[in-house]
Amino acid sequence: MGLRNIVVTLKVTPKPEEIRFDPVTKTIDRSKATNEINPADKNALEMALQLKDRYGGRVIVVSMGPPFWEPFLKLAVAMGADDAVLVSDRALAGSDTLPTSLTLARAIQRIGDYDIILAGEESSDGGTGQVPPGIAEWLGIPHVTYITSIEIIEPGKARVKRTIKGGYEILEVDMPFLASVELGCNTPRFPDFRRKRWAEREFKLKTWSIADLGLSPEEVGFKGSATTVDTLMELKPPERLRSRITGAPDEIAEELARIIRELLR
């Protein structure tokens, strides 16, 4: 029951605590943030590598982003991925989840021969969870969300475990299919240092433009997006009341009891 290609979508995201927004363009300003592989995507990559270890096949990472993402894709190769593709084009700037999922789907179509596509459940910067199902819809294949494990039970069929509120579900799904992987469901492996050195010096990253995927500028970026950010608002957390109770111990206890009774009502 050998597998063919296992494709993993990967995004490079700024650390959430360092995210800032450009008030003019109403987009994320990455210039002062530390970037990292989206944590849930690392879990997806680890699951792909475990599937490869168990059933064979090739793990191919695909990403859509600017050229400076290249070292992060090479890090994925150092972790064990067999190949990596970066779709990079100025026309992609400003893409929402619609053209993003379309672009990644076209890249996966060009890779071809895939049995399983894995993605993180959502990105730490956007948090919509819309891209993985969107890719599956463009490709016309089944998709399952919030999975924690995959088992190949017979040629062309897999059994997956997915988290739901209060428990989990066991589902059977035909291949090829796409699954979004739950954040924290496994522990991503460390890169192999010899392989890391090879990846940094010798590995040749494939870089595709939208023209390579048969896409036009009108289908991607701001022009191809179905949504726009109209207004940015800063939501401040509620402040504490900071009231102080004074008096004798019995008086303080009585006042605390009164406050608690009021809250319980």
DSSP structure class, residue 61: E
Is 90 exceeded by the pLDDT of residue 163?
yes
Is 70 exceeded by the pLDDT of residue 155?
yes
- The alpha carbon of residue 133 and the mean position of all alpha carbons in its chain are separated, in whole angstroms, by 12
Assign 69 a pLDDT band (cuts: 50, 70, 90). Answer: very high
Average pLDDT, the chain: 92
250 in a structural domain: no
- Nearest Cα residue to 225 out of 8, 16, 27: 27
252 in a structural domain: no
182 in a structural domain: yes
239 in a structural domain: no
232 in a structural domain: no
Average pLDDT over residues 41-57: 97
CATH number at residue 107: 3.40.50.620
CA distances from 21 to 31, 48, 70, 146, 252 (A): 10, 33, 24, 29, 46
Nearest-Å Rg of the Cα atoms of the chain is 23
62 forms beta bridges with: 9, 85
Per-residue pLDDT tens digits for 193-247: 999 999 999 999 999 999 999 999 999 999 999 988 777 777 787 888 788 899 9
pLDDT of residue 135: 97
253 in a structural domain: no
Structure pTM?
Answer: 0.84
pLDDT of residue 27: 67
235 in a structural domain: no
- Range(s) of the domain holding residue 122: 5-224
Per-residue pLDDT tens digits for 9-48: 999 998 766 767 776 766 666 667 788 999 999 999 999 9
Average pLDDT over residues 248-264: 91
Domain count, the chain: 1
Q: From CA 45, how far away is CA 81, in angstroms rounded? A: 8
